Every structure is written in C-alpha cells, then in structure tokens.
C-alpha cells in the first residue's frame, strides 16, 4: 500500500497537475477546451461548464492538500471563468461558452448547477472567498426552486428556465426525465456545500436525496442502481452502470460520514456495500473494470473515469468491511491504470479508454468537456488524504 500511494502521489504531482496547468488560457480565460488524441490543442474550442467547474474543484482541492500557492493561482483563474459562465440575470450557469466568452449553449442543466456548487464550495474552503460561498448558496437556491419537483430532481432547462428535453444526460437510446447520474452529483455538490456551510436546509436535502436513492434508484433484486427514468421513476432500460455503482458506493458513504447520523448510516450503508460487492463480481478482472452491461451484453471498454472510481470504491469497501479482497482489487486496479491507461506521451495525460486487449481507443480526445482532472485527480487526492 505504501508503494501504491507513493506512485499515486507522483502521478498527481508530476503528471496530472502539470498537464492541466499547461492548458491554462491566459488570452480568453479558463482552460483550453479540447485536446485531440494526436495531442493537437484546440484553443478555439468551446469551454464547457462541466470541465471548468471540475478544474476549479480540482485545483482548489489540490491546494488544500499540497499548500502550493501556484495551485491556488490556478483555482483563482478557474473561478474567474466560472463567474463568466453565470447568468447574472436569470440565475444558474450555462452549459458552455465559446472560446471568446460569448454563450455557446445556454442550456441550464441541473447536473451543471450541482457541479458548480461543488466547485465553488471547495474554492471557498480553500481560499475563504465569501463571494464564492454566496454564489454556491445562490445556485443551491436555484436548484431548489427551478430544478426540483415533489418527486425529486429534474434535468434540463432553457436559459430562461423553461423545461427542455434531456439529450445531454440521456444515452443508450432513451430520453430520460430523471437520471441517477444527476441525483448522484446533486448529492455530491450538496455534500461539498454542507462541508462549507453546514446549514439545516442543505442537510434536509441530503436526506431527501438518500431517500430517493434507497426507494427509487436502488434495485435490491438486481443489486444495482437503475439509470434512466421517466418522471414517475419507471426504469427505461435494462442497464447496469458498473462505473456509477462503484462510484456511488464510496461517494454516498462520504455523504454519510459528513452527516454523521448513525441511524441513517445503518440504513444506507448496506446498500452501498452491496453495490461494491456486485461490481467486484460482475465487472472487475485483472484487466480492469468493465464499463456497463446493457440487456445482458457487457461493454468491455475500460473507460478512464470508471477505472479511477473502481480504485476508490474498492479502497472504501476494504475500509468499511476489512475484507482484503477489496484491498487487493484496488491495488490491481491501480496497477492496470499505471501500466496501461496513463498516456506516457509527452504533453498528454490519460487515455479516454482502452479496448479489452489494452490498446487505447484513438477515436476519443485527451480533453473535451467531459474529460477532465476530476476523476483521476479525486482518486489521488482522496487516497492521499485518507492515509490508507
């Protein structure tokens, strides 16, 4: 374990952080929004709020961990861009801006609002910037007044908050009215906000989210989360999202730790342990962690974010249960990432995905609005902070 953590720290400080520092755009602000597989940089590419929020979160957390003032400066740079992505008139953050700072896609998606809350909360904790906390609180109010109904959280809206179809978080041939993914990351954003601002209004919403996870999203017979729903929480597809299940298994556990409610923990934690256990048997091999299983067919791509989340999920399962098979799985997952997924070409970071035989998928870029330092950076920082 000591050697593994040494390698992960080195990957964070000598590879991931320098790569993302190198994408800083001092002409238009923020960070370059796309790097092709062949490592061609596209400074003219649109800048997505998801990417920028995650970069802000990443540098804020990295500064809190490493206390390197250059990381604080990067967080300040990302914060300035997130402020530009905010609709000061109608509230909320846009989906994306053009490179010149004009609005590219004015969609207001609940998922984006939640990640902005997450990032702003981390930035406040890192710097004490009260304006960042105000903005996080404002977005919390936006989500609660615009993005929620009596059943839970909704998905997509126009710039002026009229309901819009949910192409952005719907996949696998369905159009979802609600998604597990949005619920998961609202929980994550609110957990970060509660760490920055432990207000009862946030706490109550976290209880609501965990109740929805338990009663609507979790399928105890199949030992999985359902993924895509209509507005009444009817599942739209037979799909195991292995990556989201292993991610939820530790991420919701972190929320339980933050809430520190023994009764709630006793109710929810067995669900999370069942998620981790099922993915251990269904998705994990010595050759990485499978992506998903749709209608009985396993997608064997080894996606970058899924591999990172598997390390964290298995480490958390080991900590919670003491079962060494999870510790060994986490070590094997890291070895797979180290030996295959990290792109050793100068000027690159991690491949988007690998085929089952370990060869990289050359049809996906190294950076784009979803490909960011959030999953791999978080894996490294959470493990280093936890001191396993």
Average pLDDT, integer, range 277-306? 95
Under DSSP, is residue 284 helix (H, G, I), strand (E, B) or coil? Answer: strand
Q: Are 254 and 194 in contact (CB under 8 A)?
A: no
Alpha-carbon Rg for the chain in angstroms: 19
Q: What are phi and psi of 178, to 5 degrees?
A: -140, 155
The stretch 349-371 carries a mean pLDDT of 96
Mean pLDDT of the chain: 97
Convert the pLDDT of each residue in 129-151 to its tens digit. Answer: 999 999 999 999 999 999 999 99
Q: Is the pLDDT reported for residue 388 higher than 70? A: no
Contact predicate 31/364, CB 8 Å: no
For position 286, what pLDDT does the model report? 79
Per-residue pLDDT band at 287 (split at 50, 70, 90): confident
Given a contact cutoff of 8 angstroms between Cβ atoms, the answer to whether 19 and 348 are in contact is yes
- What's the mean pLDDT in 195-218? 98
User: What are the tokens at 368?
Assistant: 């784009």
The 10s digit of each residue's pLDDT in 223-278 is 999 999 999 999 999 999 999 999 999 999 999 999 999 999 999 999 999 999 99
Residue 234 in tokens: 């009817």
**Topology, domain 2-386:** Glycosyltransferase (1.50.10)
Answer left, alpha or beta for residue 320, where phi above 0 means left and psi between -120 and 50 means alpha.
alpha
Rounded CA gap, 86 and 53, in Å?
A: 11
Count of CB atoms within 10 A of residue 34's CB? 22
Give the Cβ contact number of residue 191 at 10 Å.
24
- What pLDDT, in 10s, does the model give residues 167-176? 999 999 999 9
83-87, 155-159, 382-386: least confidently modelled range: 382-386
Q: How confident is the model at residue 310 (pLDDT cuts 50, 70, 90)?
A: very high
Residue 301's nearest CA partner among 340, 354, 376 is 354
Torsion sign across C-alpha atoms 97, 72, 119, 349: positive
In this predicted structure, what is the pLDDT of residue 383?
96
- Domain regions of the chain by residue span: 2-386
Residues in CB range of 281: below 8 A, 6 or more apart: none
- The yes-or-no verdict on residue 348 having pLDDT over 70 is yes
Question: Position of tokens 């080894």?
Answer: 302
> Strands 292-294 and 297-299, how do they pair?
antiparallel
% of the chain exceeding 90 in pLDDT: 98
DSSP secondary structure string for all residues of 161-215: S-EE--GGG--TT---SEEHHHHHHHHHHHHHHHHHS--HHHHHHHHHHHHHIII
């Amino acid at each position: 374990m000591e050697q593994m953590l040494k390698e992960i720290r080195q990957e964070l400080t000598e590879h991931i952080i320098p790569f993302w520092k190198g994408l800083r755009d001092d002409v238009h602000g923020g960070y370059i929004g796309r790097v092709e597989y062949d490592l061609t940089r596209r400074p003219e590419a649109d800048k997505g709020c998801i990417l920028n929020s995650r970069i802000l979160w990443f540098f804020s957390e990295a500064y809190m961990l490493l206390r390197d003032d250059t990381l604080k400066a990067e967080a300040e740079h990302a914060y300035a861009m997130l402020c530009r992505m905010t609709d000061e008139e109608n509230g909320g953050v846009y989906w994306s801006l053009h490179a010149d700072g004009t609005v590219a896609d004015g969609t207001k998606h609940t998922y984006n609002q939640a990640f902005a809350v997450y990032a702003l909360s981390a930035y406040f904790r890192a710097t004490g910037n009260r304006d960042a906390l105000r903005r996080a609180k404002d977005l919390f109010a936006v989500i609660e007044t615009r993005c929620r109904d009596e059943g839970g959280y909704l998905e997509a809206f126009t710039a002026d908050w009229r309901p819009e179809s949910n192409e952005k978080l719907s996949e696998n041939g369905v159009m979802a009215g609600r998604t597990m993914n949005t619920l998961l990351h609202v929980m994550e954003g609110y957990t970060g906000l509660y760490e920055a601002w432990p207000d009862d209004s946030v706490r109550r919403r976290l209880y609501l989210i965990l109740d929805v996870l338990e009663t609507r999203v979790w399928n105890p017979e199949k030992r999985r989360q359902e993924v895509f729903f209509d507005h009444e929480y009817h599942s739209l597809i037979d799909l195991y999202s292995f990556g989201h299940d292993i991610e939820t298994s530790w991420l919701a556990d972190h929320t339980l730790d933050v809430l520190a409610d023994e009764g709630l923990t006793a109710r929810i934690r067995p669900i999370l342990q069942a998620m981790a256990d099922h993915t251990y048997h269904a998705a994990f091999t010595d050759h990485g962690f499978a992506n998903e299983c749709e209608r009985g067919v396993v997608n064997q791509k080894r996606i970058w974010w899924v591999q990172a989340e598997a390390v964290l999920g298995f480490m958390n399962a080991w900590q919670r249960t003491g079962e060494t098979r999870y510790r060994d799985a986490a070590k094997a997952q890291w070895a797979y990432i180290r030996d295959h997924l990290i792109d050793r070409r100068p000027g690159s970071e991690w491949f988007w995905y690998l085929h089952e035989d370990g060869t990289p998928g050359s049809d996906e870029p190294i950076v784009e609005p979803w490909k960011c330092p959030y999953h791999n950076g978080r894996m490294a920082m959470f493990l280093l902070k936890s001191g396993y």
